[in-house]
Amino acid sequence: MAEWWRGSVTYQVYPRSFQDDNGDGVGDLKGITRRLGHIADLGCDAVWLSPIFASPMKDMGYDVSDYMNVDPVFGSLEDFDALVAEAHRLGLKVIIDQVLNHCSDKHPFFAESRKDRTNPKADWFIWEDPRHDGTPPNNWLSVFGGPAWAWDARRKQYYMHSFLVEQPEWNFRNPAVVDYMEGVLRFWLDRGVDGFRFDTVNYFYKDALLRDDAADYRVKKEPEGNPYGMQYHLFSKNQPENLLWMERIRRVLDDYPDRSSVGEMGESHHAIRMMGEYTAPGRLHQCYSFEMMGYDYSAEFFRTRIGDFFRDAPDGWPMWAFSNHDVVRHATRWAKHGISQDALAKQAGSLLLSFQGSICLWEGEEIGQTDTELALEELTDPQGINFWPEPIGRDPTRTPMVWDDSPNGGFTTGKPWLPVKAPQLARNVASQRGAQGSVLEHYRAMMAFRKGSAALKAAPTVFLDTPEPILAFTRGDLLCVFNLSPEARSLSVEGAGAPVGPSMGGVLQGGQLQLAPNAAVFLAVTGAVSLG
């Protein structure tokens, strides 16, 4: 199916937390395979698996030691093949994470590279001499704290790591490294995957002159919890050579029919513009950023982000998401904007699934799941441990999927790697399945509505001038109106009929649209639309 990804909905699975089938407390491929029906029944088009590769798990699989094998904690290559076959039987595409910017320090190529300066892999990683005073070559910082440089006494040089010390960065200026990474992609494409999600897609190339990053141009009144955010990362990432690598990736994917790619834009300054650059013709198919994973829940925010993308990148394609494995769940983040947790969760689902572009759902989002409160001793995430108590890290959003109200939520018969606590246990799939008015059933209805609507799948977005907290836009023959607040609102409407589809909280009488708190209303366009 040509361009199946355009307007699609992808469901992100965090393998450690989705379903454990062998009782060791960690999710696995057999467990995911058993639960794929839930994703298919929801109405998704694809499933994205966070890393499943062999790894010491210092960063939960984002530190890869073997790109062409499955870590035993998740199963085997045969288990992976069975998962792909079952997904395809259910009509689901399979997208897998590719963590190509960095690897584990246990990767055999890094073990060879650090032996000396003359071995065959000597320049496969970013090595630099110290300055004359012994300090690192520049001021670049690690996302996980401290300098982005680690000293290695064997080579008497520093190697670069944007994340953990145990995650050395590949030298993409070495053509042999790029060739190797192409081979990794082809290995999985030949195995039947339908595409890739590329981690930290704007990090691959660094400034060849190793110039210092500047202070963030946005004035900081006090130090941040993570000082990485106090720099403007002009040189440690976002280099123009990245785009040439995107074009090579696209050429590889074009050798295989019906494959797709999505990039993670790890940038806080110009993410929307860069999403457009990275998805220009001949580059990635889709790109997402963290723009909609913050705390802003205003009409102006959504209007400008979506409007800016399609204005500046008419030939690009976005993937929008409200949550993922790296951020606070939006049901927690935006709680103050909801009259109730369910109302906010359902409105957020309606809002996201009405956007122009592709959509990514984070596991548990469809049941209104919230972050789990964790004590320091319960954390496994190095980011959370390093920066305790704030930012708390990523474990609170990564706790296991809750399938029912049994102990551990039906996730495991053993001790789960992160706890399943009472507030999360109360929100489970079994109790919501078939329950009228539940978050899960609303998501199912909204997914079916999107899939059956030519307007929501393909029509351009035209935003209407409305005051806060009302967001309104047309997509073809559909008018979408949202009251992004816990108080009732009303406005006059011309050129639209009564609410259709899975609308909630809206009544149109005599040209007045009464909006309940957290209303999400879809109206058929009947003429020239005006709101007041």
β-bridge pairing 195-198 and 66-70:
unpaired
Catalytic residue selected from 45, 199, 213, 267: 199
**CA pair distance 495, 270, nearest whole angstrom:** 37
* Distance, C-alpha 405 to centroid of its chain: 28
- What Cα–Cα distance (Å) separates residue 314 from each residue in 4, 187, 311? 19, 33, 6
Does 199 participate in catalysis according to the annotation? Answer: yes
Q: In this structure, are residues 434 and 441 in contact, taking their beta carbons and an 8 Å threshold? A: yes
User: Is 241 assigned a catalytic role?
Assistant: no
Contacts by 69-73, CB closer than 8 A, 24 or more apart? 70/29, 73/16, 73/24, 73/26, 73/28
Distances (CA, A) of 360 to 95, 130, 202, 325, 475: 12, 43, 20, 12, 20
d(CA 456, CA 474): 10
Residue 471 backbone phi and psi in degrees, to 5: -110, 130
- Rg over CA atoms, the chain: 23
In a 13 Å sphere around the CA of 443, the CA atoms on its Cβ side amount to 32
Secondary structure element (H or E) that encloses residue 132, with its range: none
Per-residue buried b or exposed e for 88-111, using 16+ beta carbons within 10 Å of the residue's own CB: eeeebbbbbbbbbbbbbbbbebbe
Pairing of strands 461-463, 470-475: antiparallel
Q: Which of 59, 264, 267, 365 is catalytic?
A: 264
Helix or strand or coil: residue 265? strand
**Closest of 366, 344, 367, 348 to residue 428, by C-alpha:** 367
Residue by residue, what is the 3-state secondary structure of 154-204? CCCEEEECCCCCCCCEECCCCHHHHHHHHHHHHHHHHCCCCEEEECCCCCC
What does the alpha-carbon distance between residue 261 and residue 272 come to, in Å, rounded to a whole number?
A: 17
Question: Is 98 in contact with 196 (CB distance < 8 Å)?
Answer: yes
Residue 149's DSSP bridge partners are: 160
Question: In which element (H, E) is residue 241 found?
Answer: helix 241-254
Active site residues: 199, 264
